Structure 1
Amino acid sequence: MKPIIAITMGDAAGVGPEIIAKAMADPDIRERGKIFVIGDLRRLRLAMDVVSSPLELRAITDPSDIVDDPAVIDIIDIDCIPEDLPWGRLSAEAGHGAFLFIQKAVELAMAGSIDAICTGPLNKEALHLAGHAFPGHTEMLAELAGVKEVSMMLTAPNMRVIHVTTHLGLVDAIARIDGDRVYRTIARGHDLLVKSGMENPRVAVAAINPHGGENGLFGNGEEAAKVQPGVDRARAEGMDVVGPLPADTLFMLASRGDYDLVVAQYHDQGHIPVKVLGLKNGVNVTVGLPFVRTSVDHGTAFDIAGKDIVDHEPLLEALRQAGDLSPDRSGDA
């Protein structure tokens, strides 16, 4: 059985509605899952007019109502966007709508009605204008799902990278890393891949210092003190984990297929190789939620919203990853 995937519209004044309208017309992506939209129906209809979509738009009240017809876009209508909202303009209404779309998606995911959420881009300033003080999607999803800690995983062609730390300065990131945090990150990534059907994922953990520290020559023993305990604990639990390995060669080995998952220690260590390999096809995955969440790795692009020039390929890739990472439903009744 196909996984059930909800696309949330994101900020309705941005490119989210357009990329959804374009992506839902792709017959190949419709084979990847039973895909429907959570958003404002009138706004999606307007976006469909912008991109000259030939599809039919159909309101549903529950994922069980999905017709799974490639000529139809099913949508749970959260009627909250003013009909005259201009494209490309910051607004509290669009920020509040983005929150409501996510809130409904999490409700369905926590109830087991859907397998994955694929999020359209939101605008953090609009979110804050609406009174929702979240730094972004990740923190909002974690709070709504009641989860204290999650990890960011980026995917690109031939590579998956999960991060021990993300939005911290380098000095602060190194201070934050310890064996427990490294272990939890390994375990979260390993668990996600196992649930998606990968029997024994091969995981490689990056070192912090150049050349893996060269046995203490570089750095202050961070590999032994901060990284190795987490690797050892994961290995003791039966996970196929190696490291800490020098990052300058590790990513090359991963890109040729030696490893299924790389554990990066800090933001740029993981982001740079992924974006070099495929900025257009990069996908952001939130790991540690009780459901799959993927996202396009771009923003609301207010400057081109409503002009039918946005590329929807990143959303197609995010939907592919949502389908690939979703639990196997073949045993369901």
Structure 2
Amino acid sequence: MSAAPPSQPPLALTMGDPAGIGGELTLAAWARLRAEGPAFVALDDPSRLAGIAAHLGWEVPLASVSGPEEAAAVFRDRLPVMTIRCPVPPVFGQPDPANAPAVLGSIERAVALAQAGRAGGVVTNPISKATLYRTGFAFPGHTEFLGALAGAAEPPVMLLASPMLRVVPVTIHVSLRQALDTLRTEEIIRTGLALARGLREGFGIPAPRIAVAGLNPHAGEEGAMGDEEPRLVLPAIEALRAGGVDAFGPLPPDTMFTARARQTYDAALCLYHDQALIPIKTLDMDGGVNVTLGLPIIRTSPDHGTAFGIAGQGIADPGSLVAALRLAAEMAARRSSKAPA
């Protein structure tokens, strides 16, 4: 995969939870991408990154920079870092709410850089939502927080993408019971429209074909196993088709992710979190990328969590973060090529 064009601003990479694997992934991603890019700047605590490198015995020289503009010039030789200090020294595998200001500050600064056009996009390392909740964090997750920071006109949509599968859940960070209780035809339509637009604009697919999952076993078996398909899902599909979106279904969720079935669509529109995330993480845990649609900026992230249990061991696979950086650069280049002169 080619590097981002030299004219593209470097990406802004957040620290994630400092007790998790984000730091070692950042170091490993730089080592893998330093020669060909895309260039990125880490919004992180340099003493933390240096300590991780020393702990693992990795040679990763750092460069303190004041902005992304300096990152491209040093990226081949040093990992550029914009300093975000952790209030307390992080301990591998032990998340500390005292470091929440650094975690959130890293995200806030990355979004601001992207909004100002100084960063080509935002790539986020994994956070611990449970740790942030203990500090009064009022958002269900990363996606919703980014939507608020970026001033999204509508709730953002979470797309999980890999070379093997793309999926979008209609309901995201809520309990399964709440997902079932709050699922509405209007939300399926809104999410489907955002997905179609995102595939056209972010992935260069001019006429995306979208498979829509059923909610119940066998997609309801014509009402024998639930009435949500004819009552909620089918009207949404009809509305999407009337709006020019090539959507079809509802499909039985237990067969729509087979290798043969995946060849018939560009993305799957699923109705709740695990219906979407289980298949893509099973198929491609190390290559999956989380993309937030509906933002005025580009945002991607690895398709995994903080992995506190293996933090500091140097065994975390950076593949998903590398894929997230590459995809963000590709999306930024595509968006830049379509921007008015």
Which range, TM-score by smaller chain? Answer: 0.7 to 0.9
CA gap of 1:144–1:319, structure 2 versus 1, over 3 A, is same
Q: Would you say the 8 A contact 1:283–1:318 is kept in 2? A: yes
- Structure 1 match to 2:323: 317
Q: 1:99 aligns with which of 86, 97, 104?
A: 104
C-alpha deviation, 1:8, in angstroms: 0.4
Question: What is residue 251 of structure 1 aligned with on the other side?
Answer: 257
Q: Which of 202, 205, 212 lines up with 1:198 in the alignment?
A: 205
Equivalent position of 1:212 in the other structure: 219
Report the secondary structure of 1:24's partner residue: helix
Q: CA shift at 1:289, angstroms?
A: 2.0
Aligned-pair CA distance for 1:95: 1.8
- The reply on whether 1:86 has 2:78 as its aligned counterpart is no
1-structure distance, mates of 2:125, 2:323? 12
- Cα distance change, pair 131–3 in 1 and its aligned pair in 2 (3 A): same
Taking the aligned partners of 1:241 and 1:13, their CA distance within structure 2 comes to: 42
SS state at 1:104 partner = helix
Question: Does the 8 A contact of 1:50 with 1:308 survive in 2?
Answer: no
Secondary structure in structure 2 of the residue aligned to 1:218 = coil
2:119, 2:76 → 1: CA distance? 19
CA contact (8 A) 2:12 2:42 kept: yes
CA distance in 1, matches of 2:183, 2:260: 22
Alignment correspondent of 2:54: 49
Q: Kindly state the Cα deviation for residue 253 of structure 1 after the two structures are TM-superposed.
A: 5.7
18, 32, 42: which one aligns with 1:37: 42
Counterpart CA distance in 2 for 1:63 and 1:121 is 21
Q: Residues of 2 paired with 1:32 and 1:231: CA distance?
A: 40
> For the Cα contact (< 8 Å) 1:178–1:225, is it kept in 2?
no
Written as runs of structure 1 = structure 2, the 5 A alignment for 1:132-211 is 132-147=137-152, 148-196=154-202, 197-211=204-218
5+ residue gaps, structure 2, are: none
2:66–2:82 contact (8 Å) kept in structure 1:
yes
Match for 1:287 among 272, 284, 293? Answer: 293
| 8 Å Cα contact 1:6/1:38 also seen in 2 | yes
| Equivalences, count | 330
Identity among equivalent positions (%) equals: 38
SS at match of 2:159: strand
In the alignment, what sits opposite 1:120?
Answer: 125
Report the aligned-residue RMSD. 2.6
CA distance in 1, matches of 2:229, 2:223: 8
The amino acid across from 1:189 in the alignment is L
Partner of 1:232: 238
Q: 1:86 Cα deviation (Å)?
A: 3.3
> What's 1:61 paired with?
66
Q: Aligned to 2:283, which of 277, 280, 288?
A: 277
Q: Distance in 2 between matches of 1:257 and 1:32?
A: 31
Change in Cα spacing, 1:226 to 1:92, as seen in structure 2 (3 Å) is: same
- Give the TM-score normalised by the residue count of structure 1: 0.88
Distance of 1:15 and 1:271 partners within structure 2: 20
Do 1:186 and 1:234's aligned partners in 2 also have CA atoms closer than 8 Å?
yes
> 1:14: Cα distance to partner?
2.2
Distance 2:98 2:174 in 1: 31
2: CA distance between counterparts of 1:327 and 1:225? 41
Select between 194-203 and 166-175 the one with higher mean Cα deviation.
166-175
Deviates more, 1:131-140 or 1:262-271: 131-140
Whether the 8 Å CA contact 1:38–1:78 is kept in 2: the answer is: yes
Q: Secondary structure at the match of 1:251?
A: coil
What's the TM-score once normalised by structure 2's chain length? 0.86
More displaced 10-residue stretch of structure 1: 183-192 or 228-237: 228-237
Aligned with 2:269 (options 263, 277, 281): 263
**Structure 1 residues 178 and 22: CA distance shift in structure 2, 3 A:** same
Per the TM alignment, residue 59 of structure 1 is displaced from its structure 2 partner at its CA by: 1.9
